[in-house]
């Protein structure tokens, strides 16, 4: 038998060019994943323009809470519990104010008192080393407050509500004494009555007819 050589031709593999998939036109911003529904336009915000922060702006008045009390009103259905706050404000340059606020919560009571104190302010003038012009005595109810000028370096010899008003008003040196009732609101009002009686030298001379 004759042998026949059978040659098989092996064809080379056909190379096909595979193109990569096109990248998304909208790249993710930061760590936020890309949104397939995002069309790449500007982001809309319906909240309006942002207001500048006011943390660095100086305050017109310094604030101090003198007293906070819990009060109860007895009604037909039971007891109605509320809170009262006594607040004093001042700019340290002779201007001060105080008010009494009442609300169901402590922050709300303080807020009401602050609004009232800023609206009702009084102004006084100090002489020499930040002290008052002369001795004066104020009264409110059963409370009497006595104020006396003091030399430089004495400081504010007072406590509680009297110190709060004098410090925030800008007084540096003064003697004080409280007689009678020690209720905070009475002391504040008596101190205000004493400060409102202060007169300058020109006012006294005008009252005596020497000007």
> What is the end-to-end Cα distance of the chain in Å, rounded?
158
Q: What is the mean pLDDT of residues 18-25?
A: 55
H runs (alpha helix) in the chain: 106-119, 161-169, 184-196, 201-208
pLDDT in tens, 83-111: 999 999 999 888 999 999 999 999 999 99
Domain locations along the chain: 62-123, 136-205
Q: Is 40 helix (H, G, I), strand (E, B) or coil?
A: coil
What pLDDT, on the 0 to 100 scale, is given for residue 167? 92
Both tokens assigned to 169? 């008003």
Bridge partners (DSSP) listed for residue 127: 131
The average confidence (pLDDT) of the chain is: 81
pLDDT in tens, 162-196: 999 999 999 999 999 999 999 999 999 999 999 99
What pLDDT, on the 0 to 100 scale, is given for residue 1? 47
Q: Is 9 helix (H, G, I), strand (E, B) or coil?
A: coil
Q: What angle do CA 56, 59, 60 make, to 5 degrees?
A: 150
d(CA 117, CA 169): 13
Same fold flag, 62-123 and 136-205: no
Both tokens assigned to 54? 């006011």
d(CA 99, CA 77): 30
pLDDT in tens, 37-47: 555 555 555 55
CATH number assigned to the domain covering 62-123: 3.30.160.20
Higher pLDDT pick, 63 / 211: 63
d(CA 192, CA 138): 7
Cβ atoms of 124 and 195 closer than 8 Å: yes
d(CA 130, CA 149): 9
Report whether pLDDT(114) > 50.
yes
Sheet holding 143-149, edge to edge: 136-140, 143-149, 174-180, 156-157
Which of 27-31, 50-54, 167-171 has the largest mean confidence?
167-171
Q: Give the contacts of 89 (CB within 8 A, at least 6 positions apart).
A: 61, 62, 63, 64, 96, 97, 98, 114, 117, 118, 121, 168
Write down the pTM of the prediction: 0.69
CATH number assigned to the domain covering 136-205: 3.30.230.10
Q: Is 129 helix (H, G, I), strand (E, B) or coil?
A: coil
Cβ atoms of 124 and 138 closer than 8 Å: no
């Amino acid at each position: 038998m004759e042998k026949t050589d059978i040659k098989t031709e092996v064809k080379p593999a056909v190379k096909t060019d595979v193109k990569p998939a096109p990248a998304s036109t909208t790249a993710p911003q930061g760590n936020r994943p890309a949104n397939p529904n995002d069309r790449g336009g500007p982001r809309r915000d319906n909240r309006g323009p942002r207001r500048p922060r006011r943390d660095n702006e100086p305050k017109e008045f310094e604030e101090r809470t003198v007293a906070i009390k819990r009060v109860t009103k007895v009604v037909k259905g039971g007891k109605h519990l509320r809170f009262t706050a006594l607040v004093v404000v001042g700019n340290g340059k002779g201007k001060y104010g105080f008010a009494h606020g009442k609300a169901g919560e402590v922050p709300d009571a303080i807020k009401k008192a602050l609004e009232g104190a800023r609206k009702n302010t009084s102004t006084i003038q100090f002489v020499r080393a930040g002290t008052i012009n002369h001795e004066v005595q104020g009264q409110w109810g059963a409370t009497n407050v006595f104020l006396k000028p003091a030399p430089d370096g004495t400081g504010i010899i007072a406590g509680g509500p009297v110190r709060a008003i004098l410090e925030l008003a800008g007084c540096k040196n003064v003697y004080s004494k409280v007689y009678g009732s020690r209720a905070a609101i009475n002391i504040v009002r008596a101190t205000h009555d004493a400060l409102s009686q202060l007169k300058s030298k020109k006012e006294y001379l005008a009252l005596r007819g020497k000007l």
